[in-house]
Amino acid sequence: MSMKLAQRLVIGYYKTKLNAIAMVSPAKAAEAAFRLFCTPYSGKPRRKRPPVFHHGEKLQFTTDAIRINGYRFTAENGHGKKLLIVHGFDSCMYKFDRYISPARREGWDVYTFDAPGHGTSEGKYLNAVSYSEMILEAEKTFGPFDAIMAHSIGGLAASLAWEKIPTSGRKMILIAPATETNSAIHNFFSLIKVNPAIRTELEKLIIELAQQPLSYFSVRRAVKNIPASILWLHDEDDRICPYADVLPIQADARPNIQFYTTKGLGHSRIYKENKVKKAILAFLADQP
């Protein structure tokens, strides 16, 4: 699929800018690249609120001095269990409207929030660490959540959050998670194509900021510390979070993870597909 001219111009602009900064200081260029890496590319478009959101209770909390906005939808026939829905990068909570009513009918209280720098929430940037901290803050304020459903970077953030809390007996649904951060960085630099010194400095910067090696930001690593029952959904043709990253986890054959593989849906269409929705709802309805 050909890239829109506007996107090509923006990429060209940043490539020129980063290379110019790198001539003076690769470290400064890496800082600028990291800000770009953490910035939603479509900004905060004004999205129409789907009808179901007119019936939810508005919620608000603060994480890292950023105001987070979201909703609670009470179950129709409650069993008292809570589901948290976590969206992906450059997305928003509205994108998962199709799951709210069916989950409520299954007895779940549904919670969903816009990530920092996304949708109706404050902030400009998002990374896996800040997102995982937001999830832990939501858990403290509104939880405990009996289930979490997370897409893309939300899947990585959910994994980083849930390995820090007791999750035995809970359910985790990972939809096309950003499995390995190394792949996300590779994708970013294959798009921008700048001086290789910038990538080296960016990786050093992430390690410095997080006080963790890059290998820490891995769903494969984190799920080893999560005893929850996990449903992992991924498409073979996912170009954003490559399916190749999932194969080692399948080879690990962890008894608490079941895989649901699709073909031809890519990274974002996967959660909009009816058969996928049915598989997720069946997993939520299944008694442990």
Q: What is the pLDDT of residue 3?
A: 45
Q: What is the pLDDT of residue 4?
A: 55
Q: What is the pLDDT of residue 1?
A: 35
Specify the DSSP class assigned to residue 218. B
For the chain, report the end-to-end CA distance as a whole number of angstroms: 43
| Cα separation, 164 vs 185, whole angstroms | 25
Listed in sequence order, the residues at least 6 apart from 284 whose beta carbon sits closer than 8 Å to its beta carbon are 83, 103, 106, 108, 147, 171, 173
Q: Residues 153, 131: contact at Cβ < 8 Å?
A: yes
Q: What is the pLDDT of residue 216?
A: 95
Strand, coil or helix: what is 88? Answer: coil
Q: What is the pLDDT of residue 288?
A: 55
Half-sphere exposure of 82 (CA within 13 A, CB side): 12
Q: What is the pLDDT of residue 2?
A: 42
Structure tokens at 153: 């970077």
CATH of the domain spanning 50-180+217-285? 3.40.50.1820
pLDDT tens, per residue, the chain with 288 residues: 344 555 666 677 888 899 899 999 999 999 999 998 999 877 777 889 999 999 999 999 999 999 999 999 999 886 789 999 999 999 999 999 999 999 999 999 999 999 999 999 999 999 999 999 999 999 999 999 999 999 999 999 999 999 999 999 999 999 999 999 999 999 889 888 888 899 999 999 999 999 999 999 999 999 999 999 999 999 999 999 999 999 999 999 999 999 999 999 999 999 999 999 999 999 999 865
Q: Residues 128, 120: contact at Cβ < 8 Å?
A: no
Give domain limits for the chain.
1-37+181-216, 50-180+217-285
Q: What is the pLDDT of residue 12?
A: 79
Specify the DSSP element, H or E, that contains 13.
helix 5-24
